[in-house]
A and B are shown apart, each in its own frame.
Chain A
Amino acid sequence: MSNPIIQKIDSALSDAGAKLLNAVTEAEIEEVRIEILGRNGLFPALSKEMGAVQPEDRKAVGQAFNTGRTRFQELLDGAKQRLAAGSGAKSCDELDLTLPGRLRKLGHKHPVTKVIDDSVAIFRRMGFIVADGPEIETVYHNFDALNTPADHPSRDPGDTFYFKDGRLLRTQTSPVQIRVMESQEPPVRIVAPGRCFRRDTPDATHSMNFHQIEGLYIDRDVSLADLKSILQAYARELFGPNVSIRLRPHFFPFTEPSVEYDFSCIMCGGKGCNVCKQSGWLEIAGAGMVDPNVLKAVGYDPEIWSGFAFGMGIERIAMIRYRINDIRLLYENDTRFLEQF
């Protein structure tokens, strides 16, 4: 049991503290000051009782007396400052909890960036590193090395932007595959997000500027099963554990076998709805086993190395994920749009 003087100080501090916190006028503060420090206040009274304190308690009581007085002065000063700053419940006793809070809000990443960030994070967890390449590309990297025939329609100036010097704006992120393989020995395990360009007239689903993320894995004994597994893992990480994946045979010059891959519709779960056109599946993008000609073009021996590549449109994923129905919204940068993500 502590000394009664210490008890008095403690209880006076807590009473006065509460009063000061709720004080809304200078007069209220002054009232408390007089009650504690005034000539007939608590501390002058207590100082008279100090003489009667037992010697063994004297040190502790003296300390409590001093710190109590200092603490009390701090409380008084704090209350005065609070009033001077004009804050606090000056004219009402209760807080209005519905008033807007004052913490500065965080900003917003663009939905395209969010999808890229999340995709990169997922692929990094699966051991991929991020590579990049230039947006102004050579015909060699964008087409030739990717086994695209010389008269392939995608090379047409109607589809691809060219420059006077013969170079082009890359139409896909696939040239990054070539640049990476040219610069290092296998194995390779990369993803390459980036901007691509096609000479498409803009509408609700087409944009001449868009983003892709490319994936490439070259190693010994890489199979279609590895491709399917990685894409399924990605789909589930991004869209949830119930998403399934479907591969369909397709054709691309730079892969053989080539596939297109679909995710089960995230709206209806595969039952069929308007978004998936009743099919239960959402077409995502293309992939396949890297064509032996592509491996040869970069000096990899297709007898030793095999691998898969995939690419997907970021805008497409973002539009599915956030239910955005017009790609042009992504490039308008209306802040009412941006702050939704």
Chain B
Amino acid sequence: MNISYNWLSQYVDISCGVETLAAKLTMAGIEVEAIERSGGIPEGIVVGEILERKQHPDADKLSVCRVSNGKEELQVVCGAPNCDAGSKVPLATIGATLTDKSSGESFKIKKSKLRGVESHGMLCSGRELGLDDDHSGLLILDSALKTGTPLAELFPGDTMFELEVTPNRPDWLSHWGVARDLACLLDKDAALPEIKTPVPAKNEDTANLVTVLDQELCPRYTARVIRNVKVAESPEWLKERLLSIGLRPINNVVDITNFVLMELGHPLHAFDLDKLSGKRIVVRRAADGEKMTMLDDSKLALKPNHLVIADAEKPVALAGIMGGLDSGVTDSTVNVLLESAAFFTSNIRASSRELGISSDSSHRFERGIDWNMVETASDRATSLILELAGGELVNELVDIQGRKPEFKPVVCRFERIRKLTGVDLSNCRIVDIFKKLRLDVSGIDEIKCVVTPPSFRLDIEREADLAEEVARINGLDAVPVVPVTSKSVASFSKDAYTGLQGLRDELTALGLYECLHYSTVSDKSALSDSRFVSEDVIRMDNPLSLDLVCLRPSLLGEMLATVERNISRKNLDLQLFEIDNVFCGNPQKFPEERLECCIVLTGHKHPERFSAERGELYDFYDLKGLTEAWFAARGIEKFRFEKAEDDRFAPGRCAAVMIEGKCAGHIGELNSRYSTKFRSVYPIFLGVFETSAILKAKLESPLYSPLAMFPSTTRDVAFLADQSLQHQAVVDFIRGARLKNLEKVELFDIFTDEKAVGAGKKSMAYTLTFRSSERTLTDKEVNEAFDKLREKLSAELKVELR
């Protein structure tokens, strides 16, 4: 909502100035979102009197004027057609600075020569001063003005505040409402101009003037008829008021209703009585399908849940929201029916939203209006119409009332207020704040008082609401900062976040970069994970765009999009992970929400290194090693990798990661159907884990094993084996031989080379480490064990020893 500084100053003393006022408002809960200054005539511009006008000797369109500034006579060259002798006009004297409002550029008035004639100043148009848009000639001032008077005194600038009013405080949606609260904050008095109930000149029969058919939706409807008005342009002061808050003046009657709306916060509507069929008002629900054309020319098809103001035949306004096209006050209007009413807030809000029409009026009605203001606003507007548009009031106020809202007294315990606000306020101070806020206080004793809110405070229903008022008016800056204490801790147990934090710590320690993607994804992205079919995916009913309609069933789709995006930006070396929620609509497959973990490795392992290492690319064993290191760091011991086929991975290049016999995820090389479109030549390795399986895995607490005291001895064994022989089978075989004092079995070389080792064969070489915890082993006993193993390898594993 916009308010004007000058307008506001009519009701309360705000001589504190614009900045202070803005700060006060913001700290009182009426946030000032913008401050816009307007008008404001710069220094050095005075009322000048043109004493004489002569034609410029060398320019047809220029005049040379003798101008008085009140103290001396100056020669000024002027190009305006209306610089007639005797006129009083704005004179910008030398040194004054003018600003072009449209371009924002400033220029300083200097002594100058125009076509050879000296000019000691400039005579100004309204536009040059930023007062209006008229640039056809000089701004002609009132001839009664004293020459030399600074124009700043005649045209004081104004400041418009753009306020953010919270929905609980509709009473702030007017100048008077803001003034009322400000008075309390500034410790000043606020007063409205006296508003008298206008006395009718006649007493026409009003028995059939207004019929309210639905008192639930329209609990109060008042009307007055003013005859023989002269609809015309509003006087300057009224136009200025509306312009100062960005409203467009229309005609005096409409402007008055808008003025009262912005002054008192109560929406009014003026009908052209002669355009009302039957010259009467019926407040009713619309018939199903009933049609209506609005002021803004939009056409509506109404339903019975919409309340309308109708005449004898048809709707003439959408109650509380907007008038109809044909029933409003125009230049030809003679007789006016002035409506001031109260409507059911929820109904206005629902209709406004459903029909997509909102207005200054609906904005207030849907938040709630002041019951008592219904009559006051009508009084104010009627008086102004009679004053500015003439005519005569021909009836007493027609006032049809249903159930009046109740304002229940609220008990306020002083101690409770102090405890909630944390501010040590005296009982007196609390009561004082209530009184300043125009709340009715009674039953004051040592421990409590009883507060009854006035009709404009719809937000005060409970003690907590009163605590808010006390905190607000006393100032939140006065709330002390106290030592942080906790009298209680709700739980010591480890929370879920600790687990997630641990996983993220570990994966970043392993060199991965964490990604974060949208949960809302496209169908294509959602279904890129072949584990899911369309029916498994949860879709939003009202997506923002058809692109983002699904909740991601897996992290894969968006992670691959990130890989693609990075590759297209030439970030070819990637080590990424994400741990976050994914969603599934098929309870047979997965719970609705669960945590997944996705890892991607591709490109160079060590792009920052030099020499041969620089060229090393990630391969499957890097991802496997990362998984092993990760699990080892967590303390997961019972896990292994099993051959698996999964459509997300390249055939034969995937492993299921089994923890305690259950699948916790898969690792492998990404299926090329995803990666062919990426502009990368490097293979991409993907890991997808069920986060809960990792978090819930049994963690083995490490047990200390004594450090070896005696030296170890090593023996190497190398052999040729069939390609199909797997490393683990060799290790298991060697372990199975139960050699005495065998500590470690390590693979140190593996290679295939058709020429050297033959087709379908591979060479494998292992180092065996022997150590006893009791003594230094002799060569002899180690050799015995080693030779036994060599025999067994050859005989039982059928390998060819080298």
A: residues with CB less than 8 A from B are 99-100, 102, 104-110, 112-113, 117, 120, 126-127, 129-132, 134-136, 150-151, 156-158, 161-164, 169, 184, 187-190, 193, 195, 197, 199-201, 208-209, 219-221, 223-226, 228-230, 232-233, 246-251, 256-260, 289, 291-292, 306, 330-336, 338-339
Contact = CB atoms under 8 A, between A and B. Distances in A.
Contacts of B166: 250-251
A283 to B, nearest CB: 9
30 contacts: A102-B613, A104-B511, A107-B509, A108-B513, A109-B514, A113-B504, A120-B497, A151-B346, A162-B540, A163-B540, A188-B490, A199-B544, A201-B544, A221-B419, A223-B419, A225-B479, A226-B485, A229-B484, A247-B477, A247-B479, A250-B166, A251-B166, A256-B467, A256-B468, A257-B471, A289-B467, A334-B571, A335-B566, A338-B515, A339-B513
B501 A225 contact: no
Contacts of B515: 110, 333, 338
Interface of B: 26-29, 31, 166-169, 346, 349-350, 353, 419-423, 462-465, 467-468, 471-472, 476-477, 479-492, 495-498, 501, 504, 507-520, 538-544, 548, 551, 562, 565-566, 569, 571, 574-577, 580-581, 583, 592-593, 606, 608-610, 613
B26 A135 contact: no
Contacts of A135: 519, 581, 583, 593
Contact of A189 (B168, B486, B575): B486
B468 A258 contact: yes
A257 B542 contact: no
Given A161-B543, A251-B29, A334-B569, A106 B593 contact: no
A249 B423 contact: no
Given A107-B508, A209-B520, A248 B421 contact: no
B541 A189 contact: no
A323 B467 CA distance: 38
A224 B543 contact: no
A136 B583 contact: yes
A256 B462 contact: yes
B538 A106 contact: no
A336 B607 CA distance: 14
Given A130-B497, A226-B422, A332-B565, A161 B519 contact: no
A55 B745 CA distance: 47
Contacts of B422: 223-226, 228
A132 B497 contact: yes
A208 B518 contact: yes
A99 B349 CA distance: 70
Contact of A306 (B420, B479, B509, B520): B420
B770 to A, nearest CB: 20
A193 to B, nearest CB: 7
Given A136-B593, A163-B541, A226-B422, A219 B608 contact: no
Contacts of A157: 541-542
B476 A249 contact: yes
Closest 6 CB pairs of A and B: A225-B422, A249-B29, A223-B422, A257-B468, A127-B486, A251-B166
Nearest to A293: B462
Given A199-B542, A257-B468, A105 B482 contact: no
Interface-central residue, A112, A157, A225, A251, by most chain B CB under 10 Å: A225
A131 B494 CA distance: 10
B538 A163 contact: yes
Contacts of B539: 163
Nearest to A261: B476
B481 A225 contact: yes
B540 A219 contact: no
A292 B462 contact: yes
Given A195-B581, A248-B31, A257 B472 contact: yes
A251 B488 contact: no
A341 B359 CA distance: 48
A307 B510 CA distance: 42
Contact of A187 (B167, B419, B477, B487): B487
A289 B423 CA distance: 14
